[in-house]
Structure 1
Amino acid sequence: MYNFTRTIRPHISAGRGATVLVSGLSAWFGTTLLVATAFLTVVVQGSSVGESFTVNVLLTVIAGIFSTIAFYVAGVVTANTFATALAGRVRTIALFRLLGTSATTLRRQAARDGLLVGIVGSTLGTGIALGLCAGAVPLLVLTKAIPDLEYQVVTPIVFAPIVVVTTVTWAAAWTGARRVTAVSPLAALNSDVEPVPEVAHRRPVRTVSSVLLLLVGLGALGGSVALGIHTPFALAPAFVGGVLVFSGVIVGDHLLARSSLWLVGLPLRRGALGRMAATSLRQNPQRSIRTLVGLVIGLTLVMTLAVASATFADALARFDTGTESGGDGVIGTTVAILGAILGFSTIISSVGLVNNVSLSISQRSRELGLLRALGLTAAQVRRLIFWEVAQTTAAGVGVSLLLGVFLGWAGAQSLLGSLVGGFVAPSIPWVFIGAVIVASAALALIATAAPSRRALRSSPIKALQPV
């Protein structure tokens, strides 16, 4: 039989650039977080508070939490981007199935490509992160952001993101390929823009799993908030609860998309184009879910860290009376590291947002061509895309703001409640959050410009031609 491998590969590998970029940024974020944790350990051990057993144990807990955040975010962001890229090839994959290529061959090719993308992206990201961290140490010491101590940038643990990101990318490719190769080969002859396998029978399982994760996670967070009044070690169960809550939101993404998009669409559903945008989002739930989840992942991370950092800084500022100079150095370094992590989180969130929006628009050339053929002008189609992106962005921002404020405050309360002897009031940096919201909306709209122009460049007649 004819070997289709060379013919298949360019089609399966579409969107590789976006996935390499995201996997590289994920590894960069993870490596930077691990190096920052190592720096904080050096600062604490070199200060007077480093002699405290409690401080050292707590530092170990924080290091473990930071490491888990790095791996979790890297995994979720990379998997979501790869799934978005691969979902746009459903029709092409179905066509190869129709021509005789087996599902196993297609899955193996997708998995090999995912492995290659993961290795290249994570290696580049880790290498760049180590180089930037090594170069930043003298500058941070010079500006007195961190004490003048001996910092070791390269340690065995900093290479862990390469393994994690590569494994996650390979797993995302294998899982995503399993879903798209489940499509019938006859779907290649279907006129739908993005034929998808039937997943309705899995919805009850996902709904129940989501509810269980949310209930257990909220219970853990509630207990940690109360326990935080007595011990800073409540941070560990609070982190587990936060991960469970966030995982519950991701697992129940079909419920999240349906409810949030419907709610946000009410005031934005004005005029014919506004109603068309709302209808398009409802009729293409998988596409809407992928874009919305991409927004929620990045923005929730940024807002959680922003609220936690602001609450941490304000609580310690009120507690500052009587603090030793060694403690001052640790506090200053911790705040600086949290600020750096927040900056990296904002970058990875922005890139993930742009990738998801641009990939989603690029995969709709046939649909947009059909709208042109039905009489819409190019300007009207662009406005339609604008309304869709506006509704999705508004829904993502709303969900992320609620999650971020709650998770950020719960983490700060669990860590600092015993320090202040009660509940810590959440400090919400409204200026920063407002800037993030405006920047996210602007980035989402800018991300639609180039793919929309490419999608509208071809003649509307091509959209009416049979496959």
Structure 2
Amino acid sequence: MMRDHGAGVLVAALSSAFGAALIQGTGLLDAAARADPVTGGSTTVGVLLQITSTVFIAIAVYSGAVVTTNTFSVIVAGRVRQIALRRLLGSTARAERGAVAREGLAVGAIGAGIGLLVGSGAVAAIAGAARAFDVLGAFPYSYLNPEILLPGVAVVLTTWIAAVIGSRRVLAVTPMQALGGAEEQSEDESRASALRSAAALVLVVLGTLLLVGGVALGQVSFSGLLVAFTGGVVSFTGIVLGAHLVIPRALRIVGRLMGGSATARLAAENAIRYPQRSTRSTIGLLVAVTLITTFGVALRTFGDMVETAAGDDPAYYAGIETMLLTVTVVFSVLTGFSAVIAGVGLVNSLSLGVLQRTRELGLLRALGFSARQLRRMILAESGQLVLTAVALGLVLGTVYGWAGAHSLVGAARDMPGLLTIGLPWPLLAVVVGGGLLLTLVASVAPARRATRVAPIEALGVE
């Protein structure tokens, strides 16, 4: 069964490598600052670096956990018939769920170990190159840093928890399902619990109120940013929790924009026919795009306000624009790592979805669909998922970025009013372009797998 977990190991390795690289990199920079005769007496640089690395390690682990949870959910959905058959032979739901949880623990341990080695090795190689070109001076630093075990342990735990959460469907599998197919629930059959929907609504409303309060408080105090940040986390958690209420509806709207051809209509129907699978495939990318857009819009909006206010006192705001540009680039690269993780999850979800629809795809081939039409259909499905995630992420990120920027108004003087909003067009262009590229990449492996199966062979799958 471990053959299904290649993407899970890759996601765990990416998260662990990112964490190890950040800890080793910040440790290296802190050692360099301490060795410098000018900054050696200050601990400020080290503290700031540690705070920054902790925040972005948390982001990477969170993104990885979302993707891994979705991956295990898709895997369990594809094993319904096998699990039901074992239940028929005497296995219990608890034993089956325990087996999936143990797979998650193994996936996390393997991925974390690989990631720690890769992340530390990458930093060591970069440091060696920097010293060779006299960019980095000679100073003592040990890469046997016990702190790098922390992201590794976090990845193992989150992967195990993700497997436990993703395996919840095992509890609903009955022995009688051994006589049926392993399919996702359809839109009519999929009904999220009222408690989950109510909790999502409460979190969104509470988070929105905190966002508004943070913006208002930010006009007079530095603490507005903390309130707005808390509101953003709470409201976005509600959106993720209630994604089953939002994403299928957004997919339906986007599907209508895909065109009226047979392949486009089939792709649109496939995306909304199994909303759970589509939501799981989309949510990771939605998180990544929202994060990137939030940082970009917040810094661009604050930069525009600074530029407007600088007309009255240029000396006071000197250098801030350059600093904001640098921070935008750095933050975009760091948060962009979560987009890589989300992309891996999307490719894996599409691939597993195609594998579970072998009989359906074989029937289309038998009815006259060509391999080219099949590839177009899967490309349209990929495009529909990516476009939905990018569109929602841009909207949410713009709102959160605007709120974050205006919650900082109390930190500077003579700032313009609340109507100011700055859009980082180059960054947004990169996000949209990356989405188009991801659409093509995500459809390659599933399309190849779908077109390799002969119609007769597919129709004979049990």
TM interval, shorter chain, is: 0.7 to 0.9
Aligned counterpart in structure 2 of residue 242 of structure 1, from 225, 232, 241: 232
Matching residue of 1:20: 9
Per-residue CA deviation, residues 123-150 of structure 1 (Å, 9 max, x unaligned), is 2223322332344356678999999998
Aligned counterpart in structure 2 of residue 399 of structure 1, from 392, 411, 420: 392
Q: TM-score, normalised by structure 1?
A: 0.81
1:315-354 paired onto structure 2 within 5 Å: 321-322=314-315, 334=327, 337-354=330-347
Determine if contact 2:386/2:438 at 8 Å carries over to the other structure: no
Per-residue CA deviation, residues 300-348 of structure 1 (Å, 9 max, x unaligned), is 2332333345456666777895479999998787556425414434433
TM-aligned CA distance change 1:23 to 1:311, over 3 Å = farther
TM-aligned CA distance change 1:202 to 1:51, over 3 Å = farther
Matching residue of 1:430: 425
Amino acid at match of 2:337: F
TM-aligned CA distance change 1:466 to 1:273, over 3 Å = closer
Matching residue of 1:379: 372
Matching residue of 1:215: 205
* Equivalent position SS for 2:423: coil
* Equivalent position SS for 1:427: coil
The answer for unaligned runs of 5 or more in structure 1 is 1-11
2: CA distance, partners of 1:358 / 1:230: 51
Amino acid at match of 1:223: G
Which one is further off, 57-66 or 130-139? Answer: 57-66
Determine if contact 1:276/1:384 at 8 Å carries over to the other structure: yes
Per-residue CA deviation, residues 190-211 of structure 1 (Å, 9 max, x unaligned), is 1464468998564322211111
TM-aligned CA distance change 1:388 to 1:303, over 3 Å = same
* Equivalent position SS for 2:412: helix
Matching residue of 2:217: 227
* Equivalent position SS for 1:273: helix
Which one is further off, 76-85 or 197-206? Answer: 197-206
Amino acid at match of 1:367: E
Matching residue of 2:281: 291
Q: How far 1:157 sits from its partner (Å)?
A: 4.2
Matching residue of 1:73: 63
2: CA distance, partners of 1:227 / 1:26: 35
TM-aligned CA distance change 1:214 to 1:166, over 3 Å = same
Matching residue of 1:465: 460
Determine if contact 2:282/2:385 at 8 Å carries over to the other structure: yes
Per-residue CA deviation, residues 56-109 of structure 1 (Å, 9 max, x unaligned), is 998887666445434433322332333333333233322333343332332222
Amino acid at match of 2:340: I
Which one is further off, 305-314 or 81-90? Answer: 305-314
Matching residue of 2:448: 453
Amino acid at match of 2:380: W
Q: How far 1:261 sits from its partner (Å)?
A: 1.0
Matching residue of 1:86: 76
1: CA distance, partners of 2:109 / 2:28: 27
1:398-417 paired onto structure 2 within 5 Å: 398-415=391-408, 417=410
Q: How far 1:115 sits from its partner (Å)?
A: 0.4
Amino acid at match of 2:8: T
Q: How far 1:404 sits from its partner (Å)?
A: 1.7
* Equivalent position SS for 2:422: coil
1:281 aligns with 2:276: no
Determine if contact 2:303/2:321 at 8 Å carries over to the other structure: no
Alignment length (residue pairs) = 456
Which one is further off, 420-429 or 102-111? Answer: 420-429
